[in-house]
Amino acid sequence: MRASLFFLAVALSAAAAELEDSCLACMCYVSSSGCVMPDGVCRNTAWSEVCGPWAVTKPYWEDAHKPGGDFYPCMADWDCNEQTVRAYLDRYVENPFATCETYARTHYGGPWGMNEDYATDYWLLVKDCLDDGLFTNPPSVE
């Protein structure tokens, strides 16, 4: 019995939540008003410069281990922008049973701000996108 509990614990710790494509697409949809590459790739907001269709900041990209090696070219590239978001969320979402809500809140609020009101507001927009089927998947580069 004790050995089977040990193996169950190991199996559960090895399990990982998976960021669903629909969740990622809705985060893109909400972050860039329809999941589009913004004109001018980066824009200044009241709190920071955000870039690309997922509205990524330079510290966010750095926390994602700097995919592509150079921030601005990465933000202008769909695949690199998506790699950044996936790497960031892979780093900070550790719950093997995480839902889209956890991913969206972490994306917008960071690992320490996911319970803030602004992260809740963002999640509700992502949830509306999911519920209403508003998203389209980001373009794939072949």
| Distance between CA atoms of residues 113 and 130, nearest Å | 22
Q: What is the pLDDT of residues 3-35, one digit of tens each?
A: 443 333 333 444 456 899 999 999 999 999 899
Q: What confidence category does residue 110 fall into, taking pLDDT thresholds of 50, 70 and 90?
A: very high
- The burial class, CB within 10 Å (0-12 / 13-18 / 19+), for 44 is exposed
| Distance between CA atoms of residues 54 and 35, nearest Å | 8
Architecture of domain 18-132: Orthogonal Bundle (1.10)
Task: Specify the pLDDT at position 22.
Answer: 94
Strand partners, 42: 51
| Distance between CA atoms of residues 34 and 117, nearest Å | 23
C-alpha 109, offset from chain centre: 10
Does the pTM surpass 0.85? The reply is no
